Amino acid sequence: MIPGPTPVPERVLTALGRHPIGHRSKEFQALVERTNKQLRWLHQTEEEVLVITGSGTAAMEAGIINTLRKGDKVLCGENGKFGERWVKVAKAYGLEVEVIQSAWGTPLETDTFKERLEKDINKEIRAVIITHSETSTGVINDLEVISQHVKKHGKALTIADCVTSLGACNVPMDAWGIDVIASGSQKGYMMPPGLSFVALSQRAWQAYKKSDLPKFYLDLGQYLKAAKNNSNPFTPSVNLYFAMEKALEMMEKEGLKNIFSRHARHRSAIQAAMKAIGLPLFADEIHGSPAITAVAPEDFDAELLRKIVKENFDILLAGGQDHLKGKIFRIGHLGFVNDRDILTAIAAIETSVHSLGAGKNKLGEGLRAASDHII
């Protein structure tokens, strides 16, 4: 029950065990053609979704270096660990970074982006870089509204880290006008780590032509050319392609609406359960991520609870990062997770809290509250 790597279905694991095939073979080209179509469906876009053998960070870095020039001014939203990462990446490539910051556990203020973009009369801002679902704090940022403000600016691009939101909630790339979307296989895709995905709008591809930041393996122009021929510019992880096709088949069968509804239901169940147990949420319910919920216990060390849950129930929860270590624990509810998994995790957490003598309500109240959202 962590935000990644997430549980992997048996049929996906079985696909991994196939003997590799040549990545220049007709059989592999047919596989790429099929999965390219599936990826466009998931991203809700007409654009090519490019596949990189690498982590989600590789896809995000590729989105930045393929659309910007050295010295470009960018706005970077920072309200958690991954927002901090994109600030570091942008600075590493010599970009002029202006940080729009919110406290960890709170969403980015959309009006702050609006006001800053409206003040940019000379159109010097070239991109707005944000994390949609901030995994470190369990906060979902309002990508739709921020993207609208960026479109009104006219020059800037929206570059979005959707690593823990894609496949968990609605992220319609074309309808929202998002210019760059990056994600990773070990999250909502229900796969092992190893593949990352990046899609660019036509505006982003126009920016690509002027980009002068250094790139070779992450040069998306090579990936686009290869994708149009159902191939990959470098040796990809062939077996992860086998797994991806099976995972995306499962997602297509469930349907986007049902996938998003399931994640929303699990978020609501966990939020209600934690409140019934007497554990405060780190982020308010309205801005809770559909992928992960952060909980901030007041009466005990969060790491102690994680230890008890792991030792007694063999369930792994995520801990807090940096200054939040020991202050929060995080419950992943992303990807191949069902109602039973949610109820089991809640029961384990509630029992463990009571074993610490920290239960503020009658044992079973958390499970009862969760059941109201699931059954």
Q: What angle do CA 38, 39, 44 make, to 5 degrees?
A: 100
What would the pLDDT profile of 133-165 be if each residue is shown by its tens digit? 999 999 999 999 999 999 999 999 999 999 999
pLDDT of residue 358: 87
Give the span between the Cα atoms of 352 and 348, in whole angstroms. 6
pLDDT of residue 273: 98
pLDDT of residue 26: 97
Please give the backbone phi and psi of residue 74, each rounded to the nearest 5 degrees, phi first: -135, 150
What would the pLDDT profile of 155-200 be if each residue is shown by its tens digit? 999 999 999 999 999 999 999 999 999 999 999 999 999 999 999 9
226: Cα within 13 Å, side-chain hemisphere = 20
pLDDT of residue 332: 98
Pairing of strands 195-200, 157-161: unpaired
Q: What is the 3-state secondary structure (H, E, C) of 183-223?
A: EECCCCCCCCCCEEEEEECHHHHHHHCCCCCCCCCCCHHHH
pLDDT of residue 205: 98
Give 286's DSSP letter: G
**pTM, entire model:** 0.96
Contacts of 84 (CB under 8 A, 6+ apart): 78
- Name the CA radius of gyration of the chain, rounded: 21
Beta partners for residue 199, in sequence order: 49, 181
Q: Tell me the domains of the chain and their CATH numbers.
A: 10-254 (3.40.640.10), 256-374 (3.90.1150.10)
Question: How far apart are the two ends of the chain, measured CA to CA in Å?
Answer: 20
Mean model confidence pLDDT for the chain: 97
Give the span between the Cα atoms of 315 and 18, in whole angstroms. 29
Give the mean model confidence (pLDDT) for residues 343-356. Answer: 97
CB distance 279 to 355 below 8 Å: no
Nearest to 40 by CA among 164, 151, 200: 200
Beta partners for residue 294, in sequence order: 330
Percent of the chain with pLDDT over 70: 100
What would the pLDDT profile of 292-303 be if each residue is shown by its tens digit? 999 999 999 999
CB distance 241 to 194 below 8 Å: no
Give the span between the Cα atoms of 291 and 135, in whole angstroms. 8
pLDDT of residue 375: 81
Give the pair of three-digit tokens for residue 206.
Answer: 């126009």
Asked whether residue 360 carries a pLDDT value surpassing 90, the answer given is no
